[in-house]
Structure 1
Amino acid sequence: MGKLSGLLVFLLVVHSVSSLKCYVCSSTSNEHCNRNAEECRAPLDTCMTTVDILGQVKAIVKQCSSSRTCTGASGTASLDASGNGNEVTCCSSNLCNLSTATTTQLCTWLLSLSLCLLILLIQQDG
């Protein structure tokens, strides 16, 4: 029984460490949204942020989601030429949905660009 008890304790520790936490809210302010974090329960494995835009009005919804649901929603999201519509972003690390969808996409793009420049600099030195 000792080995079984040890295995059970190990699995509980691993499960608690690997639980995803997301910001969860419904607001017009990103700052207000970032006040409430929640631990996602299986099968919810993704933090999903939806930003609906109509003129100067933004509605932000942050929630735990399944990766399949979030990917599907992001595939159908779009903005028109005036900037109206919706944006959806998906991420899967703890509290990764801190920013609004637009900011998250911009940060990801800038991080990728920085990484590419770093690789080019390393290759030139070598």
Structure 2
Amino acid sequence: MSKDDFMQAGLEMGLAMKLAKEVQTLKEKLKHVFSSYLSLSEVLAKYNLVSEGTEIIPLFIPQTYEIKEDNKHFVLCMADINLQLQSYGTLVMTSLESMHNEYVSTILHTALRIAENATNKKFSM
């Protein structure tokens, strides 16, 4: 918005000028923030991967970790999910998404605890 737009909205000239100046500053900041983003080709070149696409990026092969059935975090996770399933019959349709989110949250927290034990590292949440 310009100074004139603010004045047409009923603001005094001094306030309209200040607001118009602030709007201009915010527009410039927004452009400045996004100007730091690199294109895909720039990112690939940074890592010495010259290509027009992503097909040359090496595949990541994740490490696997077998979870034993007596793992304390796994046992607690399954108990929590079983408890949630017991109350499933009393749910109304609008609460199904909430229930799904609880399952996901339980599983993710359990995965983090198991990963902490496997790697001897502490992850923050």
Higher strand content, 1 or 2: 1
Higher helix content, 1 or 2: 2
Measured against the shorter chain, the TM-score band is: under 0.3
> What is the TM-score with the length of structure 1 in the denominator?
0.24
Larger radius of gyration, structure 1 or 2? 2
> What is the TM-score with the length of structure 2 in the denominator?
0.24
